[in-house]
Amino acid sequence: MADVYQALSSAARRDILALLKQGDLSAGEIAEQLNIGKSTLSGHLNVLKSADLVATQRQGTTIIYSLKTSVVEDLLNQLYSLFNKEKRL
């Protein structure tokens, strides 16, 4: 889970995830919407893939990226349980 937190530490990667929350996109479509260079975007997408936050599907010569909601849900549940523990005196 540490790699998930590291992946989320970047504002650009959080922006990518927010876009993918709205629907699947190619790298080119993400780059256009965020005004990020393709080489920089490639690095961010690799980090997100390594953290298992995005899935890829090849359509011809294009790779389509989608948000892996199960991993995001697991992260949110973990954070929720972390911050909702009763204080013990």
pLDDT, tens only, 5-61: 888 889 999 999 999 999 999 999 999 999 899 899 999 999 999 999 999 999 999
Alpha helices (runs of H) in the chain, residue ranges in sequence order: 2-8, 11-22, 27-34, 38-50, 69-83
pLDDT, tens only, 51-80: 999 999 999 999 999 998 877 777 777 777
Instruction: Tell me the whole-structure pTM to 2 decimals.
Output: 0.80
Please tell me whether residue 65 adopts helix, strand or coil conformation.
strand
Edge to edge, the sheet with strand 62-67 lists: 25-26, 62-67, 54-59
CB-based contact 51:2 (threshold 8 Å): no
Main-chain phi, psi angles of 30, to 5 degrees? -65, -45
Choosing among 3.40.50.2000, 1.10.10.10, 3.40.50.720, 3.20.20.70, the CATH entry for 2-83 is 1.10.10.10
